[in-house]
Amino acid sequence: MPVTTNSFAMGEMLAVLLSRDMADGEKAIVGTNSDIQVAACNLARQRQAPHLWWVSGPGGMTNPTEGIIRPAADAENIAVAEAVMDLPQMIDFIDWQVHFFDFAILGALQTDRFGNINTVCVGDHAKPRLRGPGTVGISALCGLSRRFYIMMTRHDRGAFVPKVDFVCGAGFLDGGTARTDFGLPEGGPRLVVTPLGVFDFEPKSKAMRIKSLHEGVTLDEIRDNTGFDLMVPAKIERTANPEDEELFLLRRAVDSTGVLARKFPWPKAH
């Protein structure tokens, strides 16, 4: 298990890791129930990306930055937004336009070796063992945005499977050039962030690869908790923990009521 420190919560760590990868001037979309995503975008705006533009998928508010993390659909975001768009207009760039968004951040019930995403069901669709919530905009965001991030709040063999039971968001499909062969634009998953580490995709095979392991996490532990063979680079980095400055800004300017610490603590040791 990671060294579950009292100095920051899992949700805070994931938000910091995601925010570091965002660039100034990029355009992003945040879906429903996305506390960590909201935090990551607003933290990036506080640091290296002051002109990052993000929009609430369901609510249409742009850049609501109040210092309190609220559900993205909430009316309270209106009073602190720069604009409020209506969903039917937003559909034009969410569901059809190629590369309007630089990135989206998506959670999932399952992800697989090639970064495909499943939020629909575990088991056969006709009679699933677990019925999930459904696809919503994930299909379009995985398919059409310039890149996407997979954010998993659990890392185990139930969530990291050889092949997802239902593709509701296309990653690299069957790997290699399968994604572009199908007719999807360039893009796909860039990073996977979990309570155990950070992962990317090997450029040729498009298979998931270890990028860095969080403090206290071993290679064996990652292998035990992943349902397929991860690619292992010659040298495995150690994830840089959130710095004091990052945590200070996160807690003072982004999440001043401590939503992340309350809702996303570290998982308990087995």
CA–CA distance, 182 with 193 (Å, rounded to integer): 26
The yes or no reply on residue 153 touching other proteins (CB under 8 A) is: no
Q: Are 159 and 110 in contact (CB under 8 A)?
A: yes
State the binding string over 120-139 for other proteins (x if CB under 8 A, else -): xx---xxxxxxxxxxxxxxx
The one among 11, 58, 64, 175 contacting other proteins by CB under 8 A: 58
The one among 24, 25, 74, 162 contacting other proteins by CB under 8 A: 74
Q: What is the dihedral of CA 238, 242, 244, 249, to 10 degrees?
A: 160
The yes or no reply on residue 182 touching other proteins (CB under 8 A) is: yes
Stretch in the footprint of other proteins (CB under 8 A) among 19-27, 146-154, 164-172, 207-215: 164-172
Q: Show the DSSP H helices in the chain as ranges.
A: 10-20, 35-46, 87-91, 138-144, 178-182, 219-224, 244-249, 259-263
Q: How far is the CB of 205 from other proteins (least distance, A)?
A: 18
The yes or no reply on residue 59 touching other proteins (CB under 8 A) is: yes
Q: Are 186 and 177 in contact (CB under 8 A)?
A: no
CA–CA distance, 225 with 194 (Å, rounded to integer): 11
State the binding string over 185-214 for other proteins (x if CB under 8 A, else -): ------------------------------
Q: How far is the CB of 145 from other proteins (least distance, A)?
A: 11
The distance of Cα 136 from the centroid of its chain, to the nearest Å, equals 15
Residue 209 DSSP SS3: strand
Residues in a beta bridge with 160: 111
Q: How far is the CB of 196 from other proteins (least distance, A)?
A: 23
Q: How far is the CB of 110 from other proteins (least distance, A)?
A: 12
Binding positions for other proteins, rule: CB under 8 A: 32-33, 58-61, 71, 73-75, 78, 84, 86-88, 91, 94-96, 120-121, 125-140, 142-144, 166-170, 173, 179, 182-184, 263
